[in-house]
Structures are given as C-alpha cells and as structure tokens.
Amino acid sequence: MAENDITAWIREKVTVEVVIAFVLGVVLGLIVLGWWLWPVQWINADPADLKESYKESYLQMVADSYALTGNAEVARARLEVLKAPGEKDANLSAMLDALIKAQIKAGKADDAMRLQGLSSAMILPSPPTPQPTLAPTKPAVTKGSQLLRVVGIAFFLLLLGAGVVLLLIQLQRREPLRRRRPPLAEQPFAKAPQMEGEVIAPPPSEGTLGHFETTYNLGDEGYDVSYSVESSTGEFLGECGISALENVGIGEPEKVTAFEVWLFDKDDVRTETKVLMSERAFGDEALREKLANKGALIQAEEGQIVTCETANLRLDARITELEYESSSNSGVFAKLTTKLEVLRREATA
C-alpha cells in the first residue's frame, strides 16, 4: 500500500518541469560554471611541476644568468628546485646533456656553450644511459590531477543529489493534507449531519469500487479531498478527488471560482482531469484560456454528471448541491456538494 502511494506521489510531483530543472542545474553547475567559467587553476607551482619544454627554458635561463654573474651558489639553488621528489643530480645532468645537444643541432652554439659551462661548474655526475630526462614525473602529476578532478565531480554530484532530495521533501511537505475515507467497515450507512468541509462516504453501490460524497463551503481553506480506490481484496487501483483550482480576490476567506475533478489510475501514465467552473468564470475568456491546459472546461450545474475515464477506471461526479455567493456577482462558489462514484471500465461496458 505504502509503495503504491509513493509511486502515485512520484508520478504526480516528478513532472517534466522538475526533470528539465534538474538537467539545467547539472549543465549550468558542472559544465558552464565548473569547467568553463571557474575551472580549477593551479598556482604557485614549483619549477619541477613545469612541462618539459618549460623546464628546458628554465635551464637555459639559469645558464644565461650564471654566464653573466658567475655565482655558482645561486645557480646550484636554482637547479635544485628543478628536481622532482626522488630525482638526483644525474637526472639534471641528463637534462642538461640533452638540451646541449638540441641547441647544437638547432645551430645555437652560444646557448650550448653557456649550458656546457653551467654543467662543468656544477660538477654534475655523468648522465645514466639510457635515462629519460624527467618524464617519470609527468604521469604522477597527471594522475594526481585526474584524481582531484574525479573527487571534485563526485562531491559536486553528491551535493546535487542532496539538493534534489531536499527539493522533493519540500514538495511533499507543501502537498495539501488530503482527507481519505475511513475503511468500508466503519462507514455509516445513513447520512449523518454534515459539518463544514466534512467528508461523508456512503457505502458503495453494487458493482462500484467506491462511492463518496464531499461538500465545499465558502471559507474552506486549501480545499483538496482525495480518496483511495481499492478492489474488494484491498488491492490499490488508484485515487480520485476534487480540489479548489482558481481563487479570486485577496484576504479571507478564499473565494473559489473553479474546481478540479481528477482520476488517477496506477496502470495509466496520465491523470484524467475535468475543470468545473462557475457560470461567470465560464464566460470569462481570459480565465478559460488560463485553465485550458488543466483539462476539459465545464460549467457547473446542479444535477450535472461529470465523467473521467482512464485505462481501467471510470469516475462519475454528480453535482447534488450548488450555491453561489449572494453578496457579489463574481461567480464565487458558496457551496458545492459532489457525489463521486468509481467503477471499473469493463463494468461500464
């Protein structure tokens, strides 16, 4: 039973708008903000973290500076920060040797001589053969960056998921409290005196799944009544109800000019709805256009039967009492009593 209620609630609340908002949030938050406008940037990096080409430029600048100043101590300190953790002087020697050969091949003899002078002054050990220059450090940096990116994306998705859960919780809290009929065994057969907004559910007629009666009176705040539709064995089949749809004016009490009669079938992807409008509201073209997407628009009349049908269910809503507010010509309902009868579609064939 609880699982069916949750499924019905998800179908009602997780609309196309919610899905679109979720997708837009992912695109704007992750791609636009995270990867484009404010991507992760590395600052205050050591020379050891530079690309190979930048390391070669750094070495050349150290050699040029040493050729001008002859300060071996400063040159040694500058070379030390070029070594990644775990690297030795032999790695620097290998890099210098490779750069000297590259400068000679490029016809830059002066640059090659300054690099050779720096290598001789530092008394660096002979480079191991064959030994890659500083390539082993590059994958380590790349793996670290990739790991940080993966962790950041996972953390962002976790926050996003938490936000969606909180949104759904807030939507659930905002859902109007609906009054359900008591179990069939507890339903009175005779109609008892009715208070304002009280729901009376007479016993179902033969061949029906449910037979309910409810009355709206002017001043009933948040009027929204629903009933669970079950088979004779207690199987959940769907829900039906009626709720205030359109209010006019400001202040107390609420003044309703339209109601929504609806039928939900657990085996149907849609919820069938009909809109009951007061005589004045039905003649208002602007209001009709506003409510057109809610369902078929019907002018409410006493004795009228409004029918909603889904894949397996049929709802007949009969208007037994209808009164308008007499103090104005606004088409405001003062009282609306509706009898709802739910049947299986095959029973009506």
pTM here is 0.43
pLDDT value at position 317? 93
* Number of domains, the chain: 3
Q: What does the pLDDT look like over 253-310, one tens digit per residue?
A: 678 889 999 999 988 878 899 999 988 888 888 888 888 888 899 999 999 999 999 9
Instruction: Tell me the β-bridge partners of 228.
Output: 239
Say whether both 218 and 147 belong to one domain. Answer: no
pLDDT band (50, 70, 90) for residue 338: very high
Residue 102 pLDDT > 80, yes or no?
yes
Taking CB atoms within 8 Å and a gap of at least 24, the contacts of 10-18 are 11/264, 11/269, 11/271, 12/264, 12/271, 13/168, 13/171, 13/172, 13/175, 14/168, 18/167
Say whether both 100 and 152 belong to one domain. Answer: no
Say whether both 101 and 123 belong to one domain. Answer: yes
Quote the CA–CA distance of 253 and 244 in Å, as a whole number.
13
Residue 40 pLDDT > 50, yes or no?
yes
Quote the CA–CA distance of 106 and 95 in Å, as a whole number.
16
| H and E: helices and strands count for the chain | 10, 10
Say whether both 144 and 239 belong to one domain. Answer: no
DSSP code string of 9-49: HHHHHS-HHHHHHHHHHHIIIIIIIIIIIS-----S--GGG
Residue 179 within any structural domain of the chain: no
Question: 17: domain range?
Answer: 2-39+140-174
For the ranges 142-151, 242-251, 325-334, 339-348, the one whose mean pLDDT is highest: 339-348
pLDDT band (50, 70, 90) for residue 196: very low
Task: Name the least confident of 13-22, 202-211, 212-221.
Answer: 202-211
Decide the pairing of beta strands 271-277 and 255-265: antiparallel
Q: Per the structure block, which two tokens stand in for 78?
A: 């500058």
Position of tokens 């996972």?
Answer: 154
Q: Per-residue pLDDT averaged across 211-230, rounded?
A: 88
Does residue 339 contact residue 261 with C-beta atoms inside 8 Å? Answer: no
pLDDT band (50, 70, 90) for residue 171: low
Say whether both 69 and 95 belong to one domain. Answer: yes
Say whether both 223 and 312 belong to one domain. Answer: yes
Say whether both 17 and 94 belong to one domain. Answer: no
Say whether both 267 and 336 belong to one domain. Answer: yes
Strand order in the sheet with 210-217: 199-200, 210-217, 333-344, 313-324, 305-309
Per cent of the chain over pLDDT 90 is 14
Residue 8 within any structural domain of the chain: yes
CB atoms closer than 10 angstroms to residue 94? 22
Say whether both 13 and 66 belong to one domain. Answer: no
Residues 6+ apart with CB under 8 A from 230: 209, 210, 236, 237
Say whether both 128 and 146 belong to one domain. Answer: no
pLDDT value at position 241? 93
Residue 119 pLDDT > 60, yes or no?
yes
Say whether both 74 and 208 belong to one domain. Answer: no
Say whether both 197 and 223 belong to one domain. Answer: yes
